[in-house]
A = this chain, B = another copy of it.
Amino acid sequence: MIVDAGVTRLTPSEARARFRGGLRTPTAGWCSGWTQANLIAVPREQAYDVLLFAQRNPVPCPVLDVTEPGEVSCEIFDGDLRTDLPAYRIYRDGELVEETTDVTTAWRDDLVAFLIGCSFTFEAALLDAGVPVRHLEAGSNVPMYRTDRSCRDAGSIGGPLVVSMRPVPAALVATAVRVTSRYPAVHGAPVHVGDPSALGIADLSAPDFGDPVEIQAGEVPVFWGCGVTPQAAVIASRPPFAIAHAPGCMAITDARDSQFVIP
């Protein structure tokens, strides 16, 4: 992705200070080697169902950390979850009511925040192994699709598996599988290789989230579980209140990508 080289070398606390100061930007490419995470915060009353949904669907929903009710930091995030992301979305009864850069006043004492892994974590390893990552080359967001596969329900929470897609040259598909298999805590191996229609995806050029990418001759579409899955399911269950990060504006954590690889 086309990112100022300066921000790739920032520490998480330096990056968070900029966001706390009001900078609003997608975080792709920021803080190389540090793990970025999806945020979804719900009242304690809904927290068991969210955690159980993640446990039952670990490929799309890898939980990296969970806060105590009302707390705004946790072991892997030594900042303030209310201010230190570039942007947030606030939901009431499942409806988006506000997008903002600071949720200090909206935060509630009974909120439990979940930090959920994202596939940024294994993209550097794909590049290192010689597997091109098209959306990084194009400077765009990864394309994501709702599939016709249902996740396992948990209480009030259910929804379809959402996948991200990367086109991979046929000769490198096995390499891509092998490399990402080593990251089971951040989506791991692909869930599907090839034919998108088998997942109920009608048109790869029209993703449900993110941007479309070109699939070149000799490339195969490869699909991974996507961290949008739990947020989409939680919001669809219409909790009375929820706060999530705005798309692309992730939580930059104090965990290292290397913590999530199997040697």
Contact = CB atoms under 8 A, between A and B. Distances in A.
A152 B76 CA distance: 13
Given A181-B263, A182-B262, A184-B262, A152 B55 contact: no
A183 to B, nearest CB: 9
A178 B55 contact: no
A166 B66 CA distance: 33
Interface string A173-209: 0000110011011001100000000000000000000
Interface stretch (A44-52, A132-140, A142-150, A232-240): A44-52
Contacts of A188: 262
Interface in A22-54: 47-48, 51-52
A75 interface: yes
A263 B263 CA distance: 12
Contacts of A47: 48
Interface in A50-75: 51-52, 55-56, 63, 65-66, 75
Interface of A: 47-48, 51-52, 55-56, 63, 65-66, 75, 152, 177-178, 181-182, 184-185, 188-189, 262-263
